[in-house]
Amino acid sequence: MNAADLAALLDVPLHGDGTLPVLRPCHPREARRPEDVAIAMDPALLPLLADSPARVAVVAADAVDAVPEGAVGAILGVGRPRLAMAGLTAAFAPPPPVAPGIHPSAVIEDGVVLGEGVAVGPFVHIAAGAEIGAGTAIGSHVTIGAGVRIGPNGLIHAGVRIGAGCTIGSHVILHHNASLAADGFSFVTPEKGSVESAKESGRVEATNQGLVRIYSLAAVTLGDHVEVGANACLDRGTLSDTRVGDHTKIDDLVLIGHNVTVGSHCMICGQTGVAGSAVIGDRVVLAGRVGVADHVTIGDDAVVAAGSGVGQSLKGRAVYAGTPAVERERAFEMLMLTGRLKHLFRDVKALKAAAAAGRN
Amino acid sequence: MNAADLAALLDVPLHGDGTLPVLRPCHPREARRPEDVAIAMDPALLPLLADSPARVAVVAADAVDAVPEGAVGAILGVGRPRLAMAGLTAAFAPPPPVAPGIHPSAVIEDGVVLGEGVAVGPFVHIAAGAEIGAGTAIGSHVTIGAGVRIGPNGLIHAGVRIGAGCTIGSHVILHHNASLAADGFSFVTPEKGSVESAKESGRVEATNQGLVRIYSLAAVTLGDHVEVGANACLDRGTLSDTRVGDHTKIDDLVLIGHNVTVGSHCMICGQTGVAGSAVIGDRVVLAGRVGVADHVTIGDDAVVAAGSGVGQSLKGRAVYAGTPAVERERAFEMLMLTGRLKHLFRDVKALKAAAAAGRN
Amino acid sequence: MNAADLAALLDVPLHGDGTLPVLRPCHPREARRPEDVAIAMDPALLPLLADSPARVAVVAADAVDAVPEGAVGAILGVGRPRLAMAGLTAAFAPPPPVAPGIHPSAVIEDGVVLGEGVAVGPFVHIAAGAEIGAGTAIGSHVTIGAGVRIGPNGLIHAGVRIGAGCTIGSHVILHHNASLAADGFSFVTPEKGSVESAKESGRVEATNQGLVRIYSLAAVTLGDHVEVGANACLDRGTLSDTRVGDHTKIDDLVLIGHNVTVGSHCMICGQTGVAGSAVIGDRVVLAGRVGVADHVTIGDDAVVAAGSGVGQSLKGRAVYAGTPAVERERAFEMLMLTGRLKHLFRDVKALKAAAAAGRN
């Protein structure tokens, strides 16, 4: 690829010599060769271009003229830098980390159907009746349960566990050690227990005499283009599958409880947890470390700030923060007023003193 | 199984034709065949029965008469719906996802003792001297360390890691990729470090000149009927085992630190973390995303609400919430008053203005 | 080893018979044999020594005279008990749980370089071009990607996943199922999306029309003596590696996002999450369950209390707490004042009543 090819691929204007070869994008400080492409879309990085051996630079469209004279041989100016990063990194993305073909150590049980071009790494176990779509790559040490169906062009990284009966769409990416379809965490006491009494009266008036297991008979269904992060857990549904809609992205260490429904185009960031039977709409953003209580509903396009605790259902198309999560302005107001409490206590003390003095 | 068998198994009355066959329980909307059992214990689902092909329905005992006329051929009326779900799902639970016998790919070292009917999946590694009780099933890719003892009738799902020396009771279920007996997180600085100075004075008056490792010489002991969720971590003890009592259930992504003792019949919900040397009593419920500080004690039958941060020891048989966790009424009071701060600030402003006016 | 050897190793004075043999350290209550070493550095444990079969005890230096007469045959008195625990446990630490040599089931691809004495367990997969330093032990079911470089004397526990291209120093310990170099969680919408509008205006004025992936082209670099806990996740960088400095210790279930830089000698405790591109200084302590927002900076020697949410950059050498995290005194003040709100509301009510009465 050369600079002109890259400009065409990103659909951005090129300034300078389009024939310069390009090998990989990198931070201007980390460029080692003329063929490295220095990424300096942050204006603060522009001065580094003068000392960088890279001959091609990608900068913000309005910063093209600010590139030091003669620093590089070709400049690409991009309008929306983060979107350009998507294009740039896609252009140089490595192939999936699975060699073509079926590794001889893999254990593939009876009745498994592998589509054309499926790659299977060492020590993979695919149980009876599973179907893997064409072009899907399965990394080493993956477990795929009986009857699982995975669509085409997916990438299942090393150590992923997919329990029996799951349905997974096309172009899905599952990262290291993610767990699909472990059993839901669902127990009941024969008589009313401590949690039920706490919910009713706010007090513990009953003790848990025994915990009886509710089995999870359903599985997990993922739509197309879903991504699930490393060590994340999506648990089985009880009677109906736990579901995640198309294009939803789930980060590392996220927990999606049993029976949860997540819509499409959501972003669920790192270490967030969604408890059983919650319903998350479309295009919802749950920032990092959010907790969502069981059975609540979150409307389409809601944005929940990092660290929030969602205890009640939230309407869509609004920004929420805090524990319990409330609309952002309200959360900020409470925070701001709490920060000014010292002055309030002082004022009230003065008022009391004045009142006492007035009485004398 | 037919409807009468199912009614007998759940010990509930049957209305209608007991000879109707039953194949699997499902949501009324997802029933596809006459043999599906429509589960409609939530009254809101009753109208769906009319359009469902299912011929057998399970409803709340007081809703039997509300089932649409002729919608089904047999009705089971249950008194405590969630408990009925336990019975229903147990009746239709799938067999463990491990084929009988020892898979030829498994690596079983010298001196391992396998009880009768133990099933071992592909790519399992059982180190020297381990003992597995009769009827326990071990899924693919499981690692069992040297000298581990596992009781009978357990189910170890794919990818679980059990470090050397652990002791595990009977009927234990360990889910995908759970880690037992990784080393505790325990370090010390040669001289007093930043955390010690912070604990003493509230300020950082010392710097961490080096972190020296305290090794974990003990392991993890689990009682009978314990369940550990996917990607959960229970760390080794330093000198004595980290311990979890009988019938305690631990959810996905939970962290139980080194030297912790958890009593029996506890429920520790998703993403909760218990720091080193804490002591959790019997029948304690820690809801999701709770944090428990090191060395604190939580009394029997305590219920700690989701997202709470337990910084001090808590007495038993009470409900706690907030960070730091306090009794629920107190937590709610503070929350409610914080929500009314805006009015308080306004009132004080008015009082100040009135006082100022009075002085003129 | 005998008591005198142990005293020499810990560099502490010995009182009594140095020839007594020592086999393993344990809690006084758990000692079973004369050769057990009773660890009673906590003065509360001293009375237990009388009933313990152990003949050698380790106690605090100032408690030597408080050991019950004749309870043991030799006493070691230590000055800094927790540091002594490091020495004691190191002296009795078990060997790594990997048998010497290369297990025949391991899959080692072309061009892999194994240093002298490298141990490789069953079902390990080492991809092409990886280099493993002398003396490093690799537990069962580990995945090591193409071109990974691991220094000498490391210990990689079972189920660890190391993505292609990572660089790992010497004496590194990676615990069960830790994930290195899963892809960063990085997406962009073609047009301005909900999060961008929320950051600008506090409201959701745009919807996420599509989520385009930013690929992670870089990997993870760990310094020497780094430790990573079970099921922890350290994600790849986008253009430059995510980096962790020498001697930094990371606990279980921690998430280190893409492009993050962590300094040396840090302690990052259980379930903490650091979002993308944050910069953590040297000797920083993040206690358990801390959240750190993307792109913030935390200065050297900062200590952040458990459960805090760091939303803004923090200066070094100070103690922080709360969400959002502020200096500890400030956090405690707000907490204390919030706890006294009930009285404040009462006072203001009284002042209002008095003012109203005064007006009449």
**Residue B100 is encoded by which pair of tokens?**
């009988």
A217's tokens: 């008979």
Distance in angstroms (rounded) separating the CA atoms of residues C77 and C121: 41
Which residues is A233 bridged to in the sheet?
A179, A255
Using the predicted structure, report yes or no on whether residue A123 has a pLDDT greater than 70.
Answer: yes
Q: For B208-226, b where at least 16 C-beta lie within 10 A, e where not — what string?
A: beebbbbbbbbbbbbbbbb
CB of A146 less than 8 A from some CB of C: no
Q: Give yes or no for residue C310 having a pLDDT over 70.
A: yes
Report A:221-240 residues touching B (Cβ under 8 A): 231-233, 235, 238-240
User: What's the rounded Cα separation, in Å, for the pair A109 and A125?
Assistant: 8
Q: Which residue of C has its CA nearest to B177?
A: C177
Q: Is the pLDDT of residue A360 over 70?
A: no
What is the rounded average pLDDT for all residues in chain C?
Answer: 96
Name the amino acid, one letter, at A147.
G
Straight-line distance from the first to the last Cα atom of chain C, in angstroms, rounded to the nearest whole number: 90
pLDDT band for position A271 (50/70/90)?
A: very high
Collapsing DSSP to helix, strand or coil, C327 comes out as: strand
From chain B, pick out residues whose CB is under 8 angstroms from the CB of C26: 239-240
What percent of chain C has a predicted confidence (pLDDT) above 90? 92
Rounded to whole angstroms, how far apart are CA atoms A181 and B84? Answer: 23
Q: What is the pLDDT of residues C103-118, one digit of tens each?
A: 999 999 999 999 999 9
For the record, the structure tokens of A347 come out as 């004022």
User: Are C156 and C179 spatial neighbours (Cβ–Cβ below 8 Å)?
Assistant: no
C304 interfaces chain B, CB cutoff of 8 Å: no
Q: How far apart are CA B294 and CA B281, in angstroms?
A: 15
Q: State whether CATH 2.160.10.10 applies to domain C107-330.
A: yes
Sort strands A14-16 and A74-78 into parallel, antiparallel or unpaired.
antiparallel
Contacts of B179 in chain C (CB under 8 A): 159, 175-177, 230-231, 252
Q: Is the dihedral of CA A200, A202, A204, A208 positive or negative?
A: positive
Q: What is the pLDDT of residue B209?
A: 81
- State how far the alpha carbon of B250 is from the alpha carbons of B230, B285, B337, in Å: 9, 10, 35
Instruction: Identify the band that residue B203 occupies on the pLDDT scale cut at 50, 70 and 90.
Output: very high
Tell me which of A156, A289, A348 to substitute to probe the interface with C (most C C-beta atoms closer than 10 Å): A289
**Confidence band, pLDDT 50/70/90 cuts, at residue B184:** very high
Task: For residue C123, list chain A residues with Cβ-Cβ distance below 8 A.
Answer: 123, 141
Residue whose C-alpha is closest to residue A302's, from A323, A324, A325: A325
User: Best mutation site among B215, B250, B330, B341 for testing chain C: the one with the most C CBs within 10 Å?
Assistant: B215
User: CA torsion B151→B157→B162→B165, rounded to 10°?
Assistant: 10
Q: Distance between CA C251 and CA C266 in Å, rounded? A: 11
Which of A177, A339, A351 lies closest to C334 in CB terms? A339
Helix %, strand %, coil % of chain C (to 5)? 20, 25, 50
Q: A27 pLDDT band (50/70/90 cuts)?
A: very high
What pLDDT score does C209 carry? 81
Half-sphere exposure of B29 (CA within 13 A, CB side): 4
Active site residues of B: 258
Within 13 Å and on the Cβ side, how many CA atoms surround B148?
Answer: 27
Q: Work out the mean pLDDT of chain A and round it to a whole number.
A: 96
CA distance B115 to C270: 37
User: Residue B224 has which token pair?
Assistant: 């009978």
User: How would DSSP label each residue in C64-81?
Assistant: GGGSPTTS-SEEEEESSH
Q: What is the pLDDT of residues A171-183, one digit of tens each?
A: 999 999 999 999 9
Task: Say yes or no to pLDDT of C359 above 90.
Answer: no
**Cβ atoms of residues A174 and A156 within 8 Å:** yes
* Fold classified for C3-92: 3.40.1390
C273 has a chain A CB within 8 A of its CB: yes
Residues B231/B160, Cβ–Cβ less than 8 Å: no
Contact yes or no for A185 and B252 at CB 8 A = yes
Chain segment B28-69, per-residue pLDDT in tens: 999 999 999 999 999 999 999 999 999 999 999 999 999 988
Query: Would you say C46 and C59 are in contact if contact means Cβ atoms under 8 Å apart?
Result: yes
Q: Which helix (H) or strand (E) holds B80?
A: none
Of B39, B86, B348, the CB nearest to A348: B348
pLDDT of A359 above 80: no
Q: Which pTM value belongs to this model? A: 0.97
B236-277 tens-digit pLDDT = 999 999 999 999 999 999 999 999 999 999 999 999 999 999
Q: Provide the residue type at A124 as one letter.
A: V
Q: Measuring CA to CA, how many Å separate A314 from each of A197, A228, A325?
A: 26, 24, 9
Type and span of the H or E element at C348: helix C341-359
Q: How many CB atoms lie within 10 A of CB C349?
A: 12
Tell me if A321 sits within 8 A of C291, measured CB to CB.
no
Cβ atoms within 10 Å, residue C346: 10
Q: Confirm if C183 and C166 have CB atoms less than 8 A apart.
A: no
The answer to whether residues B164 and B150 touch, using CB atoms and an 8 Å cutoff, is no
Report in angstroms the alpha-carbon separations of C244 from B186, C278, C294: 19, 12, 16
Convert the pLDDT of each residue in A286-313 to its tens digit.
999 999 999 999 999 999 999 999 999 9
Query: Under an 8 A CB cutoff, do C82 and B188 touch?
Result: yes
Query: Nearest Cα to A236, choosing from A180, A169, A302, A319?
Result: A180
Counting residues of chain A whose pLDDT is more than 90, the rounded percentage is 92
SS3 of residue B27 by DSSP: coil
pLDDT digits (tens, 9 = 90+) for A187-221: 999 989 999 899 888 899 999 988 999 999 999 99
Residue pairs spanning A and C at CB distance below 8 A: 204
CA-nearest of B249, B225, B221 to B235 is B221
Q: Are C133 and C116 in contact (CB under 8 A)?
A: no
Q: What is the pLDDT of residue B330?
A: 96
pLDDT of residue C254 exceeding 90: yes
Which tokens sit at A191?
Answer: 């008589």
The string of pLDDT tens digits covering residues B141-162 is 999 999 999 999 999 999 999 9
Buried b (16+ CB within 10 A) or exposed e, A247-285: bbbbbbbbbbbbbbbbbbbbbbbbbbbbbbbbbbbbbbb
Confidence band of C360 (pLDDT split at 50, 70, 90): low
| A153 and C CB contact within 8 Å | no
What are the chain B neighbours of C25 within 8 Å (beta carbons)? 217, 239
Does position A356 have pLDDT exceeding 90, yes or no?
no
Mean pLDDT computed over A259-280: 98
Name the residue ranges covered by the structural domains of chain A.
3-92, 107-330
DSSP for A18-60, written as a single string = TT-B--EEE-GGG--STTEEEEE-SGGGGGGGGG---SEEEEE
Mean pLDDT of chain B: 96
